[in-house]
Amino acid sequence: MEFSAQQIADIIQGKVEGDPDVRISYVSKIEEGKKGTLSFLANPKYTQYIYHTEASIVLVNNDFKPEKTIIPTLIRVENAYTAFAHLLEVYNRIKLNKTGISKKAHIADSAKIGANVYIGEFAFIGDNAVISDNTKIYPQVYVGDNVHIGEGTTLFAGVKIYSDNFIGRDCILHAGVVIGSDGFGFAPQEDNHYKKVSQIGNVVIEDEVEIGSNTTVDRATLGSTFIRKGAKIDNLVQIAHNVEIGENTVIAALSGISGSTRIGKNCMFGGQVGVIGHISIADDVKVAAQSGIGKNVMTKGEILQGSPAFEISKYRKSYIHFRNLSEIKTKLEELENHIRELKQPDRS
């Protein structure tokens, strides 16, 4: 796809300085710009590159004042970074604007398929499934019986949605996501064997949720596992049965949330965070990467770090001592030996 400078300016409500007909077909970093690409300048520390870049078009802020001759065509906007992000969104929407149903897809007779839907090769749509308008289902997606997929949602290749689960509007599930597999429920028996506890609940994913590749969300034992509106879940995250993730909460990769835990709204979890089961975490809580949460967090807006995690300023003060434990131990041993010598009777 090709766009002229003027077309781009019209999309982002910018002003062209230079050739309005110059065309680009891709984007690039300003320091790696090549002919036929578009770049942007938002951070002043990259200003030096605008005088040497080979990019054909560069987005700049309205207040940018060049000190040397600039070869690329400029498009001036209020905020170059925001405008660039908007262009990427438009480009991605055009690129992914697929429609039509492949003859190689399997769709149950009882399934309901909306308008303007894309269903790719070897996708499977089960009995009584509902696929709403403007939904995109990429090849090799499995949608089980009685699943509801909301309007405008995208399921990328290889997503698996087990039966009876609900996906809201405008969600994005990336490749390899599994929704509704069994929770980890096993009852120990007297002979040291484990009896499986059937998981008969489901998963409810509300509107505008995005879930990264190879993340798993387990169905509830009873009731539902909830991912509330606007939550963003990274790649390779495990969310166990009967968990509730609050609205607009963000969880980074390799984190694990144990069963029946409730996480509040607007929380932020770094990578590799672990949370034990059956606890509650308040709204607006932030947890640093590689932390372990082992008890309820009741204070709204608290920031935690460590394993077990505690208040971050206390953790940072304590860390000074953590890293010097070996030296502290040596000094204590020397002090103990000195005291022991002082306590010995004088034999002179």
Residue-wise pLDDT for 213-226, tens only, equals 999 999 999 999 99
Average pLDDT on 249-277 reads 98
User: Domain check: are 62 and 135 in the same one?
Assistant: no
Average pLDDT on 318-346 reads 87
Average pLDDT on 70-95 reads 94
CA 206 to chain centre: 15
Q: What is the torsional sign of CA 108, 113, 116, 117?
A: negative
User: Domain check: are 16 and 163 in the same one?
Assistant: no
Q: What is the torsional sign of CA 252, 256, 259, 260?
A: negative
Average pLDDT on 237-257 reads 98
Residue 317 lies in a domain: no
Q: Is the pLDDT of residue 346 over 80?
A: no
* Domain end residue (candidates: 63, 95, 127): 95
User: Domain check: are 74 and 53 in the same one?
Assistant: yes
Share of the chain above pLDDT 90, in %: 90
* Domain end residue (candidates: 95, 126, 160): 95
Residue 320 lies in a domain: no
Residue 105 lies in a domain: yes
Residue 343 has what pLDDT? 84
* Domain end residue (candidates: 44, 66, 95): 95
162 touches 180 (CB < 8 A): yes
Q: Is the pLDDT of residue 157 over 60?
A: yes
Q: Is the pLDDT of residue 236 over 60?
A: yes
- Helix, strand, coil % in the chain, rounded to nearest 5: 20, 30, 50
Q: Is the pLDDT of residue 306 over 60?
A: yes
Q: Is the pLDDT of residue 76 over 60?
A: yes
Residue 1 has what pLDDT? 80
User: Domain check: are 91 and 110 in the same one?
Assistant: no
Q: Is the pLDDT of residue 311 over 80?
A: yes
pLDDT 10s digits, 164-217: 999 999 999 999 999 999 999 999 999 999 999 999 999 999 999 999 999 999
Model confidence, pTM: 0.87
What is the DSSP annotation of 70-88? --SEEEEES-HHHHHHHHH
pLDDT band at 347 (very low <50, low <70, confident <90, very high): low
User: Domain check: are 127 and 266 in the same one?
Assistant: yes
Residues with Cβ within 8 Å of 46's Cβ and at least 6 positions away in sequence, in order, are: 30, 31
Residue 259 lies in a domain: yes
Residue 343 lies in a domain: no
Strands 256-257 and 274-275: parallel
Residue 347 lies in a domain: no
User: Domain check: are 161 and 292 in the same one?
Assistant: yes
Average pLDDT on 151-162 reads 98
CATH number of the domain enclosing 136? 2.160.10.10
Residue 335 lies in a domain: no
Residue 213 has what pLDDT? 98
User: Domain check: are 75 and 175 in the same one?
Assistant: no
> How many domains does the structure of the chain reveal?
2
Strands 216-218 and 194-196: unpaired
Nearest CA-CA partner of 74 in 6, 18, 145: 18
Average pLDDT on 96-104 reads 93
pLDDT band at 97 (very low <50, low <70, confident <90, very high): confident
CATH number of the domain enclosing 87? 3.40.1390.10
User: Domain check: are 89 and 112 in the same one?
Assistant: no
User: Domain check: are 66 and 116 in the same one?
Assistant: no
Q: Which residues are catalytic?
A: 241
pLDDT 10s digits, 7-32: 999 999 999 999 999 999 999 999 99
Q: Is the pLDDT of residue 240 over 90?
A: yes
pLDDT band at 322 (very low <50, low <70, confident <90, very high): confident
Residue 348 has what pLDDT? 56
Q: Buried b vs exposed e over 214-235: b needs ≥16 C-beta within 10 Å?
A: ebbbbbbbeebbbbbbbbbbbb
Q: What is the rounded CA–CA span in Å between residue 126 and residue 109?
A: 9
Residues with Cβ within 8 Å of 221's Cβ and at least 6 positions away in sequence, in order, are: 183, 185, 197, 198, 199, 200, 201, 241, 242
User: Domain check: are 184 and 268 in the same one?
Assistant: yes
User: Domain check: are 194 and 219 in the same one?
Assistant: yes
Range of the domain at 78: 3-95
Average pLDDT on 70-81 reads 97
User: Domain check: are 63 and 30 in the same one?
Assistant: yes
Share of the chain above pLDDT 70, in %: 99
Across the strands, what pairs with 58?
Answer: 39, 74
